[in-house]
Structure 1
Amino acid sequence: MSSTRTVAEGVTAPSSPTSQGSIRIRQVSHRYGRGGAAVTAVGPLDLDVPPGEFLVLVGASGCGKSTLLRLIAGFETATQGSIEVSGTAPAPGRTAGMVFQQPRLFPWQTVGGNVDLALKYAGVRRDQRPAQREELLRRVGLDDTAHRRIWEISGGQQQRVAIARALAAEHALLLLDEPFAALDALTRERLQDDLRRVGTESGRTAVFVTHSADEAVFLGSRIVVLSKRPGQIALDLPVDLPRTGVDADELRAAPEFAALRREVGLAVKSAAA
């Protein structure tokens, strides 16, 4: 199995239905601070992500994973180079749905109220929101919870609400910054199962940040390992594992899964050395 892929160079094309959710990164670097105190967090790097891919960024702490995610989301602007999402420059709140390490829900709202607000900001008509809200909650495994208060549900359920809220806007791109890091192992594994299914069903492009080689192999259709700061691509690995019609426990127990997990784990350690 080849562990690297070259990045195809090309001319920027205007956004089209077939480019929705695509990411094009060219010679991007990002620095914090000025003068002698400046620190380069990431880059330079090139990266292409086609529509529908589930890309996982993995690496040691401080390698620039979250910085790169914020650049893609449009929360920050690259010091050098260019980023395009669906053929245009990223814009905060318009480029992608975002899920953070903490759910960041509105505690004074119910579960359904949090999703309704996301649908409102997405421009969904009031009379269409109840049906869409229930469908989104069903997709993340929260049927019949719309009436419950945020403090009445577990941390894992709160993160499911955050995912439903991110899906509400119908962005072609979903960005997730270590959303399961604070959860216990069992809850984390269950949410990995749910996210893998939701990602496959929605067909959206996703970029997921994690420290875990196991999580990267289970979720990703492609894995990019970043080197220590400044983060550059140390490994670009396609994941040739079935994404539908397979039991999650059987997949985790498969020899191919173990081999990929070992390859990614060794790459992370080598890149951080």
Structure 2
Amino acid sequence: MPSTQRDCRVSSSSSSQIVDTGRSAGERGAIRLHNVSQRYGTGADAVTAVGPVDLDVPPGEFLVLVGASGCGKSTLLRLIAGFEPATSGEVVVSGAAPVPGVSSGVVFQQPRLFPWKTVGGNVDLALKYAKVPKSERAARRDELLERVGLDDTAHRRIWEISGGQQQRVAIARALAAETSLLLLDEPFAALDALTRERLQEDVRAVSSDNGRTNVFVTHSADEAAFLGSRIVVLTKRPGRVALDLTSPLPRTGVEPEELRGSPEYAEIGAAVKEAAVA
């Protein structure tokens, strides 16, 4: 299926984040996928999970990959993270081949925290690996926890906090790496609806106050409409680009309830749903 590019025009008096799409692919946080495909198995048993896919993501963009289960969106995320090499094509992150744990921070579906460490200890470990000086770690840790709404929790044990709070810790830990790229693989899928909405708001707010590139995987059209400055819908397996939509919804200066209640938000969600089931 040929891909469709759309630019939804949304009128708003609020200021929106401006993304410089003219930057070169060699800059920090930029992603380039050229004719990328991923196959598993050999011979008659080989299965193409995704591709071919071509995408250029400029620094600072919040890209949401959305599609039905099994369409290859998490596979693309693993390729961008460098967890596995592409069968064919080229994956470039910040001007080079991606290196796991170096090119990007990753937040998974499950928090994957160290249960024997405190909330602060989990973030401290990430700061240590990011080579933040020991004398600066406590202040930086507290700053990160505050950014994700976990003030005064550094001393608490992982089993003492809720699932939503644990996922907030995972996000803070990923931000601690101070990479120019953050990858999020359906991080809210296991959470209840209210907690999920609150975390969407947290992630959206954090993404608006830094220049980091974000790639977020979801199967929810509403989540994609709320979070993405750009939304790419994949077809059923093998996943290819069915829709590439630039969202002009404001990134700052608007309350979440106002955003979710706007006709423009509904229009974007409907376009994503239509492309996902085509």
TM range (shorter): over 0.9
Following superposition, the deviation at residue 125 of structure 1 comes to: 1.2
Alignment map for 1:176-255 (pairs within 5 Å)? 176-255=184-263
Equivalent residue, structure 1, for 2:102:
94
**Aligned mate of 2:68, from 46, 60, 70:** 60
Query: Cα offset for 1:35?
Result: 1.2
Q: Look up the SS of the partner of 2:270 in the other structure.
A: helix
Which of 22, 41, 50 aligns to 1:42? It is 50
The alpha-carbon deviation at position 257 of structure 1 amounts to 0.6
Gaps of 5+ in 1: 7-12
Aligned twin of 2:5:
4
Q: 2:39·2:48 contact (CA, 8 Å) conserved in 1? A: yes
Instruction: Give the corresponding residue for 1:174.
Output: 182
> What is the alpha-carbon distance in structure 1 between the residues aligned to residue 155 and residue 226 of structure 2?
33
Find the aligned partners of 2:251 and 2:129 in 1 and give their Cα distance.
32
**Higher mean Cα deviation, 120-129 or 62-71?**
120-129
1:31 to 39, 59, 66: 39
Letter aligned with residue 122 of structure 2: N
SS of residue in 1 equivalent to 2:231: strand
Secondary structure in 1 aligned to 2:5?
A: coil
Partner residue in 1 for 2:18: none
Deviations 1:35-80 (A, max 9, x none): 1111000101110000000000000000000000000000010000
CA distance in structure 2 between the partners assigned to 1:35 and 1:131 by the alignment: 55
Structure number with the bigger relative contact order (C-alpha 8 A, sep ≥ 6) is: 2
1:100-179 paired onto structure 2 within 5 Å: 100-179=108-187
Distance 1:259 1:44 in 2: 28
Aligned to 1:82: 90
* Distance of aligned partners of 1:49 and 1:180 in 2 relative to their CA distance in 1, 3 Å threshold: same
Q: Distance in 2 between matches of 1:153 and 1:14?
A: 40
Number of positions where the alignment pairs a residue of Structure 1 with one of Structure 2: 260
Give the distance between the partners of 1:143 and 1:200, measured in 2 at CA.
Answer: 20
The runs of 5 or more residues in structure 2 that have no matched partner are 8-23
Cα distance in 2 for partners of 1:50, 1:14 equals 7
Residue 14 of structure 1 and its aligned partner are, at CA, apart by: 7.8
Give the TM-score of the pair, scaled to structure 2: 0.92
Please tell me whether the aligned partners of residues 25 and 31 of structure 2 are also in contact (alpha carbons under 8 angstroms). Answer: no
Q: CA deviation at 1:194?
A: 0.4
- Structure 2 residue aligned with 1:10: none
> CA–CA distance in 2 between the matches of 1:171 and 1:257?
30
The corresponding residue for 2:269 is: 261
Give the TM-score, by structure 1 length: 0.93
Partner of 1:202: helix, strand, or coil?
A: coil
Q: Secondary structure at the match of 2:182?
A: strand
Deviation by residue 1:196-229 (Cα, 9 ceiling, x = unmatched): 0001112210000000000000000000000011
What fraction of aligned residue pairs are identical, expressed as a percent? 73
Q: Report the Cα distance in structure 1 between the residues aligned to 2:73 and 2:64, rounded to whole angstroms.
A: 10
Please tell me whether the aligned partners of residues 25 and 32 of structure 2 are also in contact (alpha carbons under 8 angstroms).
no
